[in-house]
Amino acid sequence: MAQKFTINYDPNDAQQQLAGAIADNAKVVLFLGGIRSGKSVGGVAECLKQIYTYDRKPRVGWIVSPTYKMSMVTERIFRGMCASNDGSLIMKENRGDRSFLMRPSSASKGQFYTVEFKSAENPDYLRGTSISWIMLDEAAIMDPEAFIIAQGRVMDNNGIILLT
């Protein structure tokens, strides 16, 4: 069953600027702000919009944090944003590889999207897969190699990199 993109999200001014840069087809977007400025929340919302507003292909996107433990924060935000009055946008969760099969959007009936949560503790583990978007949360404390590898992941697909 297809669902429209609906999340409980009221963007602040900085988050609206982030959304505007992405809507204007920026390929690399940096959201720089202080503690509690909404970087991770805005980033996760924009990742969901890649699925339900922009219908980016291929139908795989990554949310990457510096460490496994830190990725639990963005995963919690993601789960919360996927919940709606009509049910969850998450159709199936694979806990083993920390991936989520998302319900199809109204524009892409029957075509599922996968969101994977990754850690940049070993940037080489980010090599290989072609994806449509990647969010590097807390990118300032990642090994710079993670960004270089991220570029290669989205290059084939005219994808985007979001740095928070």
pLDDT of residue 83: 87
pLDDT of residue 138: 96
Q: Is 69 helix (H, G, I), strand (E, B) or coil?
A: helix
pLDDT of residue 104: 87
**Contact 39/33 with Cβ under 8 angstroms?**
yes
pTM here is 0.91
- Beta-sheet strands, E only, within 46-139: 60-65, 83-84, 87-88, 90-94, 99-102, 113-119, 133-136
Query: pLDDT of the chain along its 164 residues, tens only?
Result: 444 546 668 889 999 999 999 999 999 999 998 888 899 999 999 999 998 888 888 899 999 999 999 999 999 999 999 987 777 889 999 999 999 999 887 777 778 899 999 999 999 999 988 999 999 999 999 999 999 999 999 998 999 999 99
pLDDT of residue 122: 96
- How far apart (Å, rounded) are the C-alpha atoms in residues 156 and 139? 22
pLDDT of residue 1: 42
**Contact 131/9 with Cβ under 8 angstroms?**
no
Tell me whether strands 87-88 and 83-84 are parallel, antiparallel or unpaired.
antiparallel
